[in-house]
Structure 1
Amino acid sequence: MALSQGNKQPVYQLLVTWVLMLAVMEGVGDLMGILHVPPMGAIFLEEFVLLTILYLLNHFWLRVPIRLKSDISWRGQLKINVLPLIIILLDCLMLFLPHLQLTSRTILFILFALVVGIFEEYLFRGVLSGGLLRSFRRFGQRRIWLAVGLSSLLFGMSHLINLSHQSLGMTVAQMLVNLGFGLLASAMYLRTGSLAWPILLHFMDDARVLAHAGLSQHSVGLSTFSGALGGAILLVVYGGIAWWLLRRSQWADISARFLK
């Protein structure tokens, strides 16, 4: 029988799941290379395998409830997400700049961004943020920021695997940016009660980058300092919006929604 939302979630299950998914990600990627699967096909196949494994792990072992449909009206959700919507709209404008060539390859990159967004949000916001929120029940209302902070830290640390093909500066920048992105995405999930919002944010952000830059494996020449500075600025911006969304006056509503 599935655990109810009010039952405590063992932390070790969540950490094991995080490590396992990183290992599977690396393993499947290596296997695709050994089998000489075409790059785009390998990418979509890898994400499909990851999402399937994660879904089965959650369904049969973790049993963390994943909320897709919000109990808040659309007007209420839009009001909550005013600041994140500005980021989404900016991403949308930059994605569809006049010089963007909407070739079949670009469209595949955009579809890839959607698949990645679904998998990563299911893992880091749905499973890890939601699961850690139940794990830290003994910390009272502080569990909200503990869960959001730890899941976001794990999200940022996951990008260390990129050191295999890119510079330290870019990797440091990615870690800081994604730490802040994790805070913001988690805040959107907890405030609205719908995983659709962080998926949309994630999709638009990745689609903008991939559509214009492609899936290049070549490192961009950022120094460690400049990369860290740019990442730190976005961390402050994203973290500031998350702090506003998760202000103390909202804690009771979040607890009532996720810990019934």
Structure 2
Amino acid sequence: MFRDEESLFKDQAYRYFLFGIFAIAVSIFLSDLILSEMAKYVKMSSDLRETLGEAFRLVVLMVVIFLGHMQGRIYASDRESFAYGLLTGLPILAIAAAQLVLSIVQADPGYFSHTKLIVSTITIYTLTGIFEELLFRGVVLNAFQDAFAAKRAGTIWVSLILSALAFGMMHLVNLASGQDVVGTLMQVIEATAVGLCFGAVYLRCRNIWVVVILHALTDLSRAIGTNAQTAVDAQNANVNAAASILSILPSLVILLGLTLFLLRKSKMEELVEERQEGGIEARPSLN
């Protein structure tokens, strides 16, 4: 019914959405299935298996990116966009850095004597940051945006929300590993908010390596904070479900508030103009 500028979706737009879903399914679920089958024949520790799992997913995802001819677009980087992205994501960077320092200060002194554990933790969460950002911001967000012929604020928001929901819902798989429902629900909600915020940063700078750094540092600061706490702290961290849910409200407010700020009307207009011109050379100002 609608054609040219009035058309909301591109012809065969469903292919873009299917490609995004395909990338998620293959890089996460299929790679995990293959690795679990391999683990039946090779003995390995849980840390080694998790590290190999993240590395294997990343390799599979890179193949998917290559098959989708998205490598030039996703991996593109320059000093200007990188510096601009770090400035755009500075609040997230500052919070993650402060949380990391606080975790180290409050850590059980014996934790840092486990060098192998620390190296394993850093490796796993770095690989996780690379994989999840390449997948959900690099592939999924871009694929969903490409499905819309109409280049306007509404379609950018829809693409961002859908990619963030996909990122959040992915954490439902933790139920299969025995995680409780409340804890998993908290992860889904918070991960969706994180997906919105990281997606907003990526849309502003179009440099995937910026959000990779933000993601890896955020996850690493939380992981060290969780693993390095004393036994008493660990017990107090799970007092009751209501308190646990309330504990994520401050981060939700910060993440959603920052998302709205980064994609405020004036900046969204610049993003729309950028997409209409078909390029990313014109960087929005920081003002």
Would you say same fold, with TM above 0.5? yes
Matched residue SS, 1:138: coil
Residue of structure 2 equivalent to 1:188: 201
Q: Residues 62 and 128 (structure 1 numbering): CA distance in 2 closer, same or farther, change over 3 Å?
A: farther
| Letter in structure 2 aligned against 1:149 | I
Among 257, 266, 285, which residue is 1:249 paired with? 266
Residue of structure 1 equivalent to 2:68: 61
1-side partners of 2:249 and 2:278: how far apart?
33
2-side partners of 1:21 and 1:111: how far apart?
19
Residue of structure 2 equivalent to 1:3: none
Among 132, 135, 138, which residue is 1:120 paired with? 132
Residue of structure 2 equivalent to 1:14: 20
May I ask how many residue pairs the two structures share in their alignment? Answer: 253
1:146-225 matches, within 5 Å, as 146-164=158-176, 165-214=178-227, 221=238, 223-225=240-242
2:23 pairs with 1:23? no
2-side partners of 1:33 and 1:48: how far apart?
15
How far residue 120 of structure 1 moved from its aligned partner, in angstroms, is: 0.7
How far residue 43 of structure 1 moved from its aligned partner, in angstroms, is: 1.5
| Letter in structure 2 aligned against 1:56 | V
Residue of structure 2 equivalent to 1:137: 149
Deviations 1:108-152 (A, max 9, x none): 111111011101111011111122121123362212111111111
Deviations 1:171-222 (A, max 9, x none): 011111101111111111111121112111111122123234349xxx9846
Structure number, greater radius of gyration? 2
How far residue 75 of structure 1 moved from its aligned partner, in angstroms, is: 5.5
Gap runs ≥5 in structure 2: 1-9, 229-234, 280-287
**TM-score normalized by structure 2?**
0.76
Matched residue SS, 2:179: coil
Which stretch shifts more, 25-34 or 46-55?
25-34
Residue of structure 2 equivalent to 1:89: 97
Residue of structure 1 equivalent to 2:6: none
1-side partners of 2:38 and 2:240: how far apart?
32
How far residue 83 of structure 1 moved from its aligned partner, in angstroms, is: 2.0
Residue of structure 2 equivalent to 1:72: 80
| Letter in structure 1 aligned against 2:258 | I
2-side partners of 1:214 and 1:37: how far apart?
21
1:15-54 matches, within 5 Å, as 15-28=21-34, 30-35=36-41, 36-54=43-61
Contact 1:110–1:210 (8 Å) recurs in 2: no
How far residue 248 of structure 1 moved from its aligned partner, in angstroms, is: 1.9
Contact 2:186–2:245 (8 Å) recurs in 1: yes
Contact 2:86–2:210 (8 Å) recurs in 1: no
Matched residue SS, 2:214: helix
How far residue 241 of structure 1 moved from its aligned partner, in angstroms, is: 0.5
Contact 1:173–1:230 (8 Å) recurs in 2: no
Contact 2:193–2:256 (8 Å) recurs in 1: yes
Which stretch shifts more, 244-253 or 57-66?
57-66
Percent of aligned positions with the same letter in both sequences? 22
Q: Residues 19 and 62 (structure 1 numbering): CA distance in 2 closer, same or farther, change over 3 Å?
A: farther
Gap runs ≥5 in structure 1: 1-5
2-side partners of 1:139 and 1:188: how far apart?
19
2-side partners of 1:121 and 1:60: how far apart?
18
Matched residue SS, 1:196: helix
How far residue 158 of structure 1 moved from its aligned partner, in angstroms, is: 0.4
Q: Residues 79 and 50 (structure 1 numbering): CA distance in 2 closer, same or farther, change over 3 Å?
A: closer
